[in-house]
Amino acid sequence: MSKHQNQTLTRRTQVGNWIESTAVTQFIIAVILVNAIMLGLETSVTFVQHYGRILEILDQFILSVFVIEITLKLYAYGWRFFKRGWNVFDFMIVAIALIPSAGIFSVLRVLRVLRILRLISVVPQLRFIVESLLKALPGIGSIFILLSILYYIFAVIATQLFGPQFPEWFGSLAQSMYTLFEIMTLEGWSDMARTIMEQFPYAWLFFVLFILIATFTMLNLFVAIIIDTMQTLHEHGKIEKPSEGETGSSQELDRLRQENWALQEEIKALKRHLKNKKKSRR
């Protein structure tokens, strides 16, 4: 392997270690938080009238920081940058921010608020929660299908039983489903139930049964699936568990991966060099 190649690999490794260091990560987190505050301030017309120019300069500075960060990561990792889902996520958010916000693209200016989502990809604890939710999607989907079936059954029953007397709540299947959704949130359901019970004394059985199944049972199953998935991921080590007081654990792992990749590249280059030598001797 040539000296130039070795220096390039070493430089890329150093850049990767630096961009993933705890200090740089904390600086990026601070920039994201400042950006979030700015986006909130921009909703105030009075504040924008007085400090609009300052907000615009800060916005350009923050966007520049994000672009430099992504550029350095692309330099350090090469095409391996896109093998990690969170890197692709960050790249897409920054790419959207670079689209001109004038003319037909003016609506995309609102999408700047998506930059706040970068906080998820930077903070290991937030990444763990999101990845756990994604892993739990198959189980959540099954429970959602079951809940939808039960929801539909109760809506049909409510429409047939209470629809003629209470059309404002159960006049059609769509109205019944919306009313049942309100009941599922436990918002004012008792007043509705008492009004219906004036004509249907045993209507309380319907409402109590629906609340027990839809609210106290099915919704708790969603929580149980997510908790079980998080515990399983901890036990099998599929997602790195953040240690208390150690926010830079993921950065350490990334540095080890970067150094391992650099070592593999050096070995490949050395093998190519030895093959070339053998061919030249022949």
pLDDT at 206: 92
Residues 33-48 pLDDT 10s: 898 888 888 888 888 8
**Is residue 228 very low, low, confident or very high in pLDDT (cuts 50, 70, 90)?**
confident
Residues 29-84 pLDDT 10s: 898 889 888 888 888 888 888 888 888 888 889 889 989 999 998 888 888 888 88
Residue 186 and residue 90 share a domain: no
The fraction of the chain above a pLDDT of 70, given in percent, is 78
Query: Residue 231: how many CB atoms within 10 A of its CB?
Result: 11
**114: containing domain:** 3-122
Task: Establish if 275 belongs to a structural domain.
Answer: no
Residue 148 and residue 55 share a domain: no
Domain with 175 in it: what CATH number?
A: 1.10.287.70
**Eight-state DSSP code of residue 241:** P
Identify whether the C-beta of residue 210 lies closer than 8 Å to the C-beta of residue 183: yes
Which of these, 279, 143, 138, 150, lies nearest to 210 by C-alpha position?
A: 150
Tell the residue number behind the tokens 């049942």, with chain if given.
180
Residue 66 and residue 96 share a domain: yes
Tell the residue number behind the tokens 């004036």, with chain if given.
198
Residues 148-190 pLDDT 10s: 898 899 999 999 999 889 988 998 999 999 999 888 888 888 8
Task: Establish if 181 belongs to a structural domain.
Answer: yes
Residue type for position 106? S
Q: What is the pTM of this model?
A: 0.59
**Eight-state DSSP code of residue 100:** -
Task: Establish if 279 belongs to a structural domain.
Answer: no
pLDDT over 80 at 267, yes or no: no
Identify whether the C-beta of residue 234 lies closer than 8 Å to the C-beta of residue 241: yes
Identify whether the C-beta of residue 264 lies closer than 8 Å to the C-beta of residue 257: no
Instruction: Tell me the average pLDDT across 221-240.
Output: 74
pLDDT over 50 at 27, yes or no: yes
Task: Establish if 19 belongs to a structural domain.
Answer: yes
Domain with 93 in it: what CATH number?
A: 1.20.120.350
Residue 97 and residue 64 share a domain: yes
Number of domains in the chain: 2
